[in-house]
């Protein structure tokens, strides 16, 4: 037995399981058309001869790929995607040429086409091996068959080790073999478990060996993907594999004895999942949006599409190719665009893109794997929407070569003509927006053209008034263009220029004052009726019939002026006064109205400004009118600075002359004036003159500098008061200056203090009375009850005897004895009843908290039922005034219009009434 440690991978491992179970599948249910496997992996030698079958059968299995269409395979045609290999009608695969030149694994598809256009496919992978390197002879290379069909010695994977030969000598130990990877096709249809490889140790003849595998897919998640027969060492795959989920597995095989002792070193097993074309290309989006300018040249890049295939992109399974299935619309040709089959870039392939004809294209793009093979590849589609963007390839065109309009003269901001334009470019875009310009016919800029943002029309608008007498019509030349420049190669159309005729309509224009405002100069104080000027207006309507202008006064603030209705002559109606509040900066302003007799009437206004020249008509006035001064001269300058104010201006104002009058003589004896400047002087007491504190009126004569000068006698009130060392009046001195002596001041202060003390005592007394009233007992004896003390006034007699009802109940009793002897129920309602008082419940010394509420309720109920508890009643009872009045009736004072009255008794009233007695009594004067 060999001592080599190796894994023998048979060329038709997967076919064996299908062939051996062919009869089993036929008896296990309904027939499923198709290949027995979706993937076949075969190991071949490099020296495959022409005509030699690749899939070599045995006595048990036929020499062909197993296929069944469930209809007897009649008219089934097999094809291969690789031209090197051929497929016979029975499904056998043969090499058509020498395979010595093949230096890598070859993978191709085999398709079976049925009579009803049905297509089935499978993948065949050929792995190239060099059997000479493994020490096998030619016979061994030609007899490579599945493991299940060979002797055990030829199909086992041996663990390397040292063995004793039959002669008892040691056999040379060979080095370990390099274990080739195990390729397993994904999505295999089984049956499962499916054997992959058989592992055995060369010590299994001496001892019992147990085999196991470890790694991801065996004892690590995902668990139980692979399993091994612990006795025979056969490793199986238990379920279909998914390369997109996991593309390879790394396992380790272990051999131990029955005691768990390792008898061989672990060997590595690499399982690679062979990719199958089981995933379609997927676009990230179902709809892609792109754009291209109209008029673009062929080869212009438009947009990019990409699809992802989850299959292996190093094989044809994951190699995606693109193509355009359809274009909508087909204008101008059906194939306006092309797509790079490998990158997915869409480009223009033909000229003629015109947004005004076709603004959008819809392209259906197909992505197919297997490098775009439509027979074997899987496909998917997406939609590309290509928008043709606008360029300015259509100049604006005016709808007419001439336009006209009319404008009344002297109007502004009025649209007088409307220019219409058409443009085929994208509306409301810079390629469509129209810009109008006047290139001739309006040198003074009376008009402008504004663009309507909605309709794109041009509105000719007046921005400067036009005059019919100057221009009766305007001939404008207008050109229109777009906001954006025209595309290169596009020429402007002659229809972009037009002529516009604007007629000027004559209207009755108002009269106007040629000089407005008009300024004149006059001295103030001119007498009433003085003619100042003629303020006349002109009529601009020279081409109309001569019109008559009438004048009127519109605004005359001081009512100093009048205007002649026909001639416009201005005459004064009052004296012009420069010092008036209506004069601002020596200017008096009045407004006049000129109205013509046109139809309709029109009027214009003019302003007359009269500059008033000042005359000396206002005498100066002394400033200030009151001041104060110390009663004695001190070391500091003692006096009052005075000046004057004059409503006139230079030269009729300052400098001023200040002087004291000669009368009364005491003025010059006590006071003196010294000039400080042209406008100021100082009034002071003469040296060593002492005046009692008080208020003094000092007259002063002030004269201005006018020609002739004006004088004014003004009086300044000066307070003379005692001063401190700084020359300021003291408080006592200020009071004394008001005219009070020292004794009077002291008396006033004492009175103030006494008054404050009296107020304080009154407040204290009020507070004390309030406190006594609050502390007074609530219940008092009937003898002390002031409510029964009715105040008796002098009886007037009479009144009560005229009443019919009995007032005896209201009479004041003489004593309290009647209360005791009064029968029950007859008493005064405001008296305290003379009955035993109710006994209130006695509160315990330490009441229980629960008894407090009961105690309060009992006391309240007792108080409500107690007639002796105050208040007794709120009825006010007044005293009866008696049955008769001792006073005489007022009606006895009667006057008589007849007879003589005796007034002699007035002589008895004393000397004060003697004169009255003489006047009325007729007595003689003493």
For residue 63, list its beta bridge partners: none
Work out the percent of the chain whose per-residue pLDDT is above 90: 32
| Mean pLDDT, the chain, integer | 76
Is position 289 within any domain?
yes
pLDDT: is 289 or 507 the higher one? Answer: 289
CB-based contact 474:378 (threshold 8 Å): no
Co-location of 215 and 121 in the same domain: no
pLDDT by residue (tens digit) across 325-378?
999 999 999 999 999 999 999 999 999 999 999 999 999 999 999 999 999 899
- Output the pLDDT for position 63: 36
Strand order in the sheet with 210-215: 182-185, 267-274, 248-256, 210-215
Co-location of 628 and 646 in the same domain: yes
Is position 42 within any domain?
yes
* Residue whose C-alpha is closest to residue 293's, from 214, 396, 387: 387
Place of tokens 């209207």: 507
HSE toward the beta carbon, residue 469, CA cutoff 13 A = 10
Work out the percent of the chain whose per-residue pLDDT is above 70: 71
Is position 597 within any domain?
yes
Could you write out the DSSP letters of every residue in 244-280? TT--EEEEEEEEE-TTS-B-S--EEEEEEEEP-S---
| Mean pLDDT along residues 719-730 | 77
CA–CA distance, 213 with 266 (Å, rounded to integer): 9
Co-location of 363 and 411 in the same domain: no
- Is the pLDDT reported for residue 817 higher than 80? no
Check whether the bond before 853 is cis (ω within 30° of 0): no
Co-location of 358 and 405 in the same domain: no
How many angstroms separate the first and last alpha carbons of the chain? Answer: 197
- Output the pLDDT for position 870: 64
CA–CA distance, 524 with 143 (Å, rounded to integer): 147
Could you write out the DSSP letters of every residue in 287-302? EEEEEEETTPPTT-EE
pLDDT: is 837 or 299 the higher one? Answer: 299
- Is the pLDDT reported for residue 405 higher than 70? yes
CB-based contact 608:515 (threshold 8 Å): no
Co-location of 251 and 303 in the same domain: no
Helix (H, G, I), strand (E, B) or coil at 227: strand
Co-location of 600 and 682 in the same domain: no
CA–CA distance, 20 with 15 (Å, rounded to integer): 8
Co-location of 603 and 535 in the same domain: yes
Q: Which of 84-93, 328-337, 387-396 has the lowest mean pLDDT?
A: 84-93
Longest dimension (CA), the chain: 208
Helix (H, G, I), strand (E, B) or coil at 310: coil
Element (H, E) at 567: none
CB-based contact 49:87 (threshold 8 Å): no
| Mean pLDDT along residues 292-320 | 93
CB-based contact 625:535 (threshold 8 Å): no
pLDDT by residue (tens digit) across 95-117?
765 443 456 677 788 888 777 66
- Is the pLDDT reported for residue 917 higher than 80? no
CB-based contact 833:869 (threshold 8 Å): no
- What range defines the domain where residue 662 resides? 621-721
Task: Give strand ranges (E) for 412-495.
Answer: 415-419, 421-422, 434-440, 447-451, 458-462, 473-482
- Output the pLDDT for position 896: 45
Phi, psi (degrees; rounded to nearest 5) at 435? -125, 125
Burial code (b: 16+ CB inside 10 Å, e: under 16) for 354-389 equals: ebeebeebebebbbbbbbbbeebbbbbebbbebebb
CB-based contact 594:631 (threshold 8 Å): no
Identify the band that residue 154 occupies on the pLDDT scale cut at 50, 70 and 90: very low
- Is the pLDDT reported for residue 421 higher than 90? yes
- Output the pLDDT for position 17: 36
Place of tokens 């008509």: 617
- CATH number, domain of 44, equals 2.60.40.60
| Mean pLDDT along residues 387-405 | 92
pLDDT by residue (tens digit) across 633-683?
655 556 888 888 888 888 888 788 888 888 888 888 888 888 888 888 888
Place of tokens 């050109």: 479
CB-based contact 183:196 (threshold 8 Å): no
Q: Which of 392-401, 707-716, 807-816 has the lowest mean pLDDT?
A: 807-816
CA–CA distance, 721 with 631 (Å, rounded to integer): 5
pLDDT: is 73 or 284 the higher one? Answer: 284
- Is the pLDDT reported for residue 823 higher than 90? no
Co-location of 605 and 625 in the same domain: no
- Domain end point (choices 441, 473, 505): 505
Identify the band that residue 80 occupies on the pLDDT scale cut at 50, 70 and 90: confident
Co-location of 714 and 626 in the same domain: yes
- Output the pLDDT for position 622: 85
Q: Which of 99-103, 316-320, 570-574, 920-924 has the lowest mean pLDDT?
A: 99-103
Radius of gyration of the chain (CA): 69
- Domain end point (choices 677, 696, 721): 721
Whole-structure pTM value: 0.45
CA–CA distance, 35 with 111 (Å, rounded to integer): 9
pLDDT: is 736 or 627 the higher one? Answer: 627
Could you write out the DSSP letters of every residue in 555-607? E-TT--EEE-TTT-EEEESS---TTSTT-BTTEEEEEEEEEE--SS--EEEEE
- Is the pLDDT reported for residue 64 higher than 80? no
CA–CA distance, 362 with 351 (Å, rounded to integer): 17
Is position 803 within any domain?
no
pLDDT by residue (tens digit) across 783-808?
555 444 555 555 454 444 445 555 55
Total domains, the chain:
6
Is position 830 within any domain?
no
- Output the pLDDT for position 446: 93
For residue 95, list its beta bridge partners: 85
Co-location of 608 and 627 in the same domain: no
| Mean pLDDT along residues 298-311 | 94
CB-based contact 339:324 (threshold 8 Å): yes
- Domain end point (choices 389, 420, 454): 389
Token couple for 815 = 């004593």
- Output the pLDDT for position 736: 52
Co-location of 297 and 373 in the same domain: yes
Q: Which of 295-299, 415-419, 524-528, 912-916 has the lowest mean pLDDT?
A: 912-916
Is position 58 within any domain?
yes
Is position 174 within any domain?
no
Task: Give strand ranges (E) for 686-751.
Answer: 694-703, 711-721
- Is the pLDDT reported for residue 542 higher than 90? no
Co-location of 667 and 607 in the same domain: no
CB-based contact 282:308 (threshold 8 Å): yes
Q: How many CB atoms within 10 Å of residue 755?
A: 10
Is position 106 within any domain?
yes
CB-based contact 473:503 (threshold 8 Å): yes
- Output the pLDDT for position 81: 80
């Amino acid at each position: 037995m060999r001592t080599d440690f190796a894994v023998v991978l048979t060329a038709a491992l997967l076919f064996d399981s299908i062939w051996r179970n062919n009869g089993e599948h036929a008896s296990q249910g309904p027939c499923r058309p198709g290949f027995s496997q979706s993937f076949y992996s075969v190991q071949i030698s490099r020296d495959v001869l022409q005509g030699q079958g690749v899939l070599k059968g045995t006595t048990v299995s036929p020499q062909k790929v197993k296929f069944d269409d469930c209809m007897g395979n009649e008219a089934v045609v097999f094809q291969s995607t690789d031209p090197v290999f051929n497929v016979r009608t029975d499904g056998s695969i043969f090499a058509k040429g020498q395979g010595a030149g093949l230096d890598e694994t070859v993978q191709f598809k085999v398709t079976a086409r049925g009579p009803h256009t049905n297509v089935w496919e499978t993948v065949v992978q050929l792995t190239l091996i060099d059997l000479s390197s493994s020490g096998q002879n030619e016979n061994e290379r030609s007899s490579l068959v599945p493991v299940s069909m060979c002797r055990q010695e030829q199909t086992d994977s041996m663990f390397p080790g040292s063995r004793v030969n039959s002669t008892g000598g040691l056999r040379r130990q060979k080095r370990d073999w390099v274990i080739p990877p195990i390729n397993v096709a994904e999505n295999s249809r089984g049956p499962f478990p499916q054997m992959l490889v058989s592992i055995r140790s060369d010590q299994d003849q001496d001892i019992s060996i147990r085999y196991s595998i470890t790694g991801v897919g065996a004892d690590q998640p995902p668990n139980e993907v692979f399993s091994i027969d612990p006795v025979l060492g056969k490793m199986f795959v238990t379920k279909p594999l998914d390369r997109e989920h996991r593309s390879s597995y790394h396992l380790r095989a272990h051999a131990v004895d029955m005691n768990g002792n390792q008898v061989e070193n672990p060997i590595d097993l690499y399982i690679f999942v062979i990719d199958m074309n089981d995933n379609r290309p997927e676009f990230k989006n179902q709809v892609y949006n792109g754009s291209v300018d109209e008029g673009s040249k062929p080869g212009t890049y438009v947009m990019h599409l990409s699809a992802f295939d989850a299959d292996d992109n190093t094989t044809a399974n994951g190699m995606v190719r693109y193509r355009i299935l359809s274009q909508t619309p087909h204008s101008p040709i059906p194939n306006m665009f092309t797509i790079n089959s490998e990158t997915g870039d869409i480009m223009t392939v033909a000229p003629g893109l015109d947004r005004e004809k076709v603004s959008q294209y819809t392209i259906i793009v197909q992505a197919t794997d297997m490098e775009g093979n439509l027979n074997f590849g899987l496909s998917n589609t997406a939609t590309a929407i290509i928008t043709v963007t606008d360029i300015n390839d259509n100049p604006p065109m005016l709808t007419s070569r001439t336009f006209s309009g009319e404008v009344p003269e002297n109007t502004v901001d009025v649209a007088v003509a409307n220019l219409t334009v058409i443009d085929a470019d994208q509306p409301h875009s810079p390629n469509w927006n129209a810009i109008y310009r006047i290139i001739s016919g309006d040198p003074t800029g009376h008009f402008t053209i504004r663009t309507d943002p909605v309709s794109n029309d041009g509105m000719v608008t007046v921005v400067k008034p036009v005059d019919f007498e100057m221009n009766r019509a305007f001939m404008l030349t207008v050109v229109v263009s777009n906001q954006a420049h025209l595309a290169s190669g596009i020429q402007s159309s002659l229809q972009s220029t037009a002529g516009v005729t604007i007629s000027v309509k004559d209207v009755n224009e108002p009269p106007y004052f040629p000089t407005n405002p008009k300024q004149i100069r006059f001295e103030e104080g001119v007498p009433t009726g003085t003619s100042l000027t003629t303020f006349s207006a002109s009529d601009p309507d020279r081409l109309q019939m001569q019109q008559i202008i009438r004048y009127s006064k519109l605004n005359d603030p001081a009512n100093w002026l009048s205007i002649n209705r026909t001639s416009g002559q201005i005459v004064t109606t009052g004296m012009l006064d420069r010092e008036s509040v209506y004069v601002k900066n020596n200017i008096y302003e009045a407004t006049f109205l000129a109205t013509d007799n046109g139809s309709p009437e029109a009027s214009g206004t003019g302003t007359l400004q009269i500059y008033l020249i000042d005359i000396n008509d206002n005498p100066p006035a002394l400033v200030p009118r009151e001041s104060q001064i110390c009663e004695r001269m001190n070391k500091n300058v003692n006096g009052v600075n005075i000046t004057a104010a004059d409503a006139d201006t230079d030269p009729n104002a300052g400098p001023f002359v200040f002087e004291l009058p000669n009368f009364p003589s005491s003025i010059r004896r006590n006071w003196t004036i010294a000039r400080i400047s042209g406008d100021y002087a100082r009034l002071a007491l003469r040296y060593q003159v002492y005046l009692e504190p008080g208020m003094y009126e000092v007259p002063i004569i002030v004269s201005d500098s006018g020609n002739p000068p004006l004088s004014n006698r003004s009086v300044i009130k000066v307070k003379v008061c005692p001063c401190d060392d700084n020359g300021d009046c003291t408080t006592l001195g200020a009071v004394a200056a008001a005219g009070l002596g020292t004794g009077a001041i002291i008396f006033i202060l004492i009175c103030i203090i006494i008054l404050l003390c009296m107020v304080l005592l009154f407040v204290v007394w009020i507070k004390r009375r309030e406190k006594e009233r609050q502390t007074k007992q609530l219940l008092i004896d009937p003898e002390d009850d002031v409510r029964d003390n009715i105040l008796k006034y002098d009886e007037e007699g009479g009144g009560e005897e005229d009443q019919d009802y009995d007032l005896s109940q209201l009479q004041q009793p003489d004593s309290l004895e009647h209360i005791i002897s009064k029968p029950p129920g007859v008493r005064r309602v405001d008296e305290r009843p003379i009955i035993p008082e109710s006994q209130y419940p006695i509160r315990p010394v330490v009441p229980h908290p629960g008894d407090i509420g009961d105690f309060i309720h009992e006391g309240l109920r007792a108080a409500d039922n107690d007639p002796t508890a105050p208040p007794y009643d709120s009825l006010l009872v007044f005293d009866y005034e008696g049955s008769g009045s001792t006073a005489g009736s007022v009606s006895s004072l009667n006057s008589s219009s007849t007879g003589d009255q005796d007034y002699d008794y007035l002589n008895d009233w004393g000397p004060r009434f003697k004169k009255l007695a003489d006047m009325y009594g007729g007595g003689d004067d003493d």
